[in-house]
Structure 1
């Protein structure tokens, strides 16, 4: 028996999506806490992956192959998980499954007594990131339609970085207290992992359909945005031009590995100080994400001009022999990473309709991964050849990326 006053919708009238139980900003903040806790877990583990594998008998080559395979899995498998998430429409399920893989793999890594088991768990943790990332970014993209895409993704990235700082420091502290015992050092990371999963499940119960944020904000959903629908729209040409711009910026972007190599090889700072400098770079990452996110919501994609400028400045500063200038270069490197991890993702959501967004994030991550790998190799090789040549090539590549950014804006117009 229907309640009094309830009338069924007229035939052909779409059902009204119920309003979420949380405001868009509360959704972003709670999701940010989930990411903070999970960064606590997996960044804590990644900070000691090399020494742990070596403790189990791995050579430097094995460590390089295993960690490289993990990063390839984290990025490359998104080309599969993104389209599958779009086709199924089960974005929450993909997100929960990916986080659960990471939360389980990290504590078990501390208990691994055989090298093959530890190697498997290192790659499994990275597979978890591949499983969740396109779906997670899609869920966030809905809420950021209401908060402002730039600010929403920037706040999420800033909270990520808090976890990325706390995790390694916690693991270092436990190792110091236990005499380098990896079991308790990684076992303690089970606590934030369980807390993150509990909070994520609660968030899922509160906001079953985050797409309601986007429809409430009046943004177009695109055809075929629901699960099982056909006739999904193609990815727009502007997305592909934008992906080319992103690839160019990363192709000419030095990795922190090359920066830290320069610091130690030139005896500019002690090896033990390098992690401290990395932590400072992560703080610059968070600040740059917040600043460019706010500017993106006011100025649009033109704010991304700052990324090639920062990327070109890194080798000019970081590959000198003056300590304070090198430190400044490392901070600029961190700021560029902050833009890459926040504002670049926000722009994808503005370029692609809901029905293909997880697919777009998967493809975008794959392109970023391939370009970052090529960029790391290019800058490393050129460093050995000639630092002036390295600087010239990087500045040239970043100048070319500005042309692609202009072409992206022209495609959207």
Structure 2
């Protein structure tokens, strides 16, 4: 509710504070980069310290505090835009702190039900808040103002923090839910690689890095909703209060997509993910056009792509990497995504102001590359076993 409620209006918020499309693209793209690249640090930190719950709670705490503080931005005059950008980046930092630990915990829990399904169900439940948050913001904007909509998100943030503390006390080690195998012991400190080697993924397979690059090309080329919301606002296609409603609809689409694609992944393997580059290529052509109907279709495609990127794509990582290094692998994976996200965010904002046709063509070309990399990776790594468990075929072998 908190961070998706805020993200639904980042475009209008920054526009109201005087930002251009380039600035919106820079801030939202840099935000995604912060959320992803800094996992390079927090993934190894989680694996080396074993403090998965502590990092998860700290990360959610940053988000719960920074989002409501955005409501202060218009009272700060010319400093308001800089303050808002800082809060957005800190909110995204919270995502970086918590995500590797959260994903590592979830990988244990999901083993017994199939990782595709487990990550899909997690994403669908996550989307309950992602749907509700934007609707709460929309109602507050319609009844009062954009800034009241942000301030009211302090309430679900406080409830979430209390819930996390209760869960940690009740289930300190979620590995107890791993029904298929005992939790592997972490290597002694003297046998482990140095921190920097861990952070850059030393020892991870070539298949993992190929897959990470392909997935990152889809992440970087997926136009942020900040740009879409900015487009809807400056082109007067929708009133500001309606932008979060459209975002909420995208979150509902995202939830369904995560469940459906997760289930298909468990039955048929990773080839279902080949649809993602196609969807990413469609988004700017539809969502940044002059017709509202096309924009709605583009936002639906955005929701499906986002849902798969944030769920089933992560399940493949768990299948490619052994359990003791999963938090590290998720950090490296997200770091590569983040580097391309900031390039994509800035590039999309810059091209949006100059040539929509150039933006559409650029995105399409990157997705052709992503599609070819995915096909090659799945061919080289071999089919993943049904149920979300990795094939024992040596990495890099032919199919």
Contact 2:41 2:331 in 1 (8 A): yes
1:345 aligned to 2:314? Answer: yes
Distance 1:342 1:332 in 2: 16
1:304 partner SS: helix
Cα gap change, 1:412/1:325 in structure 2, threshold over 3 Å: closer, same or farther? Answer: same
Provide Cα deviations, 1:140-173, integer angstroms capped at 9, x if missing partner. 1111111211111112212222212322332343
Larger Cα-atom Rg: 1
Distance 2:352 2:14 in 1: 28
Provide Cα deviations, 1:89-110, integer angstroms capped at 9, x if missing partner. 1111111222223333444555
1:77 aligned to 2:38? Answer: yes
Q: Of 87, 97, 107, which aligns to 2:58?
A: 97
| Counterpart for residue 23 of structure 1 | none
Deviation at 1:341, TM superposition (A): 1.0
Cα gap change, 1:202/1:411 in structure 2, threshold over 3 Å: closer, same or farther? Answer: farther
| Counterpart for residue 281 of structure 1 | 250
Distance 2:284 2:23 in 1: 27
Deviation at 1:352, TM superposition (A): 1.2
Q: Of 137, 145, 160, which aligns to 1:196?
A: 160
Provide Cα deviations, 1:243-291, integer angstroms capped at 9, x if missing partner. 1111222344333344455556666556654443332222211111111
Deviation at 1:371, TM superposition (A): 1.6
| Counterpart for residue 24 of structure 1 | none
1:291 aligned to 2:260? Answer: yes
Q: Tell me the number of residue pairs that the alignment of Structure 1 and Structure 2 aligns.
A: 367
1:211 aligned to 2:175? Answer: yes
TM-score (norm 2): 0.78
TM-score (norm 1): 0.76
Gapped regions of structure 2 (runs ≥ 5): 194-201, 383-399
Provide Cα deviations, 1:289-344, integer angstroms capped at 9, x if missing partner. 11111111111111111111212233444455554333222211211111111111
Please identify, of 390-399 and 283-292, the stretch whose mean Cα deviation from structure 2 is larger: 390-399
Match runs of 1:158-307 below 5 Å: 158-174=124-140, 176-177=142-143, 179-180=144-145, 182=147, 185-186=149-150, 188-214=152-178, 216-218=179-181, 221=184, 225=186, 228=189, 230-231=191-192, 234-260=203-229, 273-307=242-276
Distance 1:98 1:385 in 2: 37
1:134 aligned to 2:100? Answer: yes
Cα gap change, 1:295/1:323 in structure 2, threshold over 3 Å: closer, same or farther? Answer: same
1:138 partner SS: helix
Distance 1:310 1:96 in 2: 33
Distance 1:398 1:99 in 2: 32
Please identify, of 260-269 and 67-76, the stretch whose mean Cα deviation from structure 2 is larger: 260-269
Distance 1:52 1:266 in 2: 15
| Counterpart for residue 87 of structure 1 | 48
| Counterpart for residue 376 of structure 1 | 345
Contact 1:308 1:402 in 2 (8 A): yes
| Counterpart for residue 28 of structure 1 | none
Gapped regions of structure 1 (runs ≥ 5): 1-39
Contact 1:220 1:353 in 2 (8 A): no
1:60 partner SS: coil
Higher relative contact order (CA 8 A, sep 6+): 2
Deviation at 1:43, TM superposition (A): 3.0
2:269 partner SS: helix
Distance 2:99 2:153 in 1: 20
C-alpha RMSD of matched pairs (Å)? 3.5
| Counterpart for residue 144 of structure 1 | 110
Cα gap change, 1:373/1:411 in structure 2, threshold over 3 Å: closer, same or farther? Answer: same
Cα gap change, 1:258/1:329 in structure 2, threshold over 3 Å: closer, same or farther? Answer: same
2:204 partner SS: coil
